[in-house]
Structure 1
């Protein structure tokens, strides 16, 4: 039973090395920052979920994901969200195992975003590693594959730090530079791009800055979380009176 009077966001956190991660303060706009949604956040480590294993698609992690989701719900989570968009591989298993809404990835937004655009326009999906964002993660969206442009920042400093264990935090300026460069390259090759979706849960910390720079609508995991929390709890302090998530404003 989902509580309507109070709630918590439960996050399936990667196994990134607690000794160093514990010292890192969640940044503004981060999925892990309680101020992003104005609600308490609880986390559970998905045992063995190193970033490399999650990104590459290690099927053996599914049981650990389900167990961590169960622990979050037992602790009072009203919504369960994954701290890596590549956890979408386990969406069906996790959502079948718990009785609250499950959001494993911003990729779940793709069908809605494509329908927002004119048929001649394209949606660009930005990921930490495009080599592992294949057709199998697009599901039924593969039929609109010509309208989906995939871009990644693999080979950069952000990805190197993400794969480190313990996790190494990347400077905000570096994240903005790498993601911004990728966007620029994609737009030069595909001028029909009219909207961006950030798959990587590390990118929302630069969403606001890149909305201003690109002039394009940018969606990320926090937008889907805000929508779901508002639906479940009937409120969200981070929504403007007109119901728009503050982080989406330019």
Structure 2
């Protein structure tokens, strides 16, 4: 009798600075590492030296560590690779080249498709951990007219932003993320009434996606949606 090995999503995780003997906090429901988020198992590997600060700002020296961690995940049985930080998209080409499984490191990979999905006059709000670090090249949209349809909003300076820069990183404050995101979206919509879709860049934001959908009454996409699509395509 043969046994079926369950398909696993491999998740590249950033450093959190916890003591090796400390018990890590339980992942928040809806997060990339929570066992309740997906209907398939996940496995994770921490990328050595990859902290929120240097991943968000962009450190090319991290690329070998991302590649090595992705290869370890594949060796452990991962059939696709994602990450816990949307700014990991900087390493998307290198990681995708280094392994033989689908790689979806960031929800930003959805942006070109979402632009074609929405009416030509509609805009898409990209909500990010730090809009000052979300450069044009990360969006994957070269056409100037299409780029004009993208509105960026970030949580830089807020509680979540500050918490994520601490070492060790404290447990995620879900209420703070929801409050700051709702406020950011309200400001963006006041300035850009044509916003028709919201895309979360930050891989922590899915934990409040349901709440934001109720408040904004708009479609909200995030990295977990891309992961489900990718895993559904694999036999």
- Residue 157 of structure 1 is matched in structure 2 by 159
- Residue 44 of structure 2 is matched in structure 1 by 43
Is structure 2 residue 77 aligned with structure 1 residue 76? yes
- Which runs of at least 4 in structure 1 moved beyond 2 Å after TM superposition? 18-23, 139-143
2: distance between equivalents of 1:161 and 1:211?
24
- Residue 213 of structure 2 is matched in structure 1 by 211
1: distance between equivalents of 2:65 and 2:5?
30
Matches within 5 A, 1:1-250: 6-19=6-19, 22-143=23-144, 144-233=146-235
- The answer to whether the 8 A contact 1:152-1:182 is kept is yes
| Residue ranges of structure 2 left out of the alignment (5+ in a row) | none
- Residue 241 of structure 1 is matched in structure 2 by none
Structure 2 vs 1, CA of residues 214 and 225 (structure 1 numbering), >3 Å: closer, same or farther? same
Between 164-173 and 219-228, the greater mean CA deviation after superposition: 164-173
2: distance between equivalents of 1:104 and 1:129?
17
1:163-190 Cα offsets, whole Å, 9 max, x none, are: 1111112321111000110000000000
* Shift of residue 5, structure 1, vs aligned partner: 5.8
Aligned length: 230
* TM-score, reference length from structure 1: 0.89
1:172-209 Cα offsets, whole Å, 9 max, x none, are: 11110001100000000000000000000010000000
* Shift of residue 142, structure 1, vs aligned partner: 4.9
2: distance between equivalents of 1:103 and 1:34?
19
| Residue ranges of structure 1 left out of the alignment (5+ in a row) | 234-250
1: distance between equivalents of 2:219 and 2:118?
11
- The answer to whether the 8 A contact 2:111-2:140 is kept is no
- Report the aligned-residue RMSD: 1.5
- The answer to whether the 8 A contact 1:10-1:41 is kept is yes
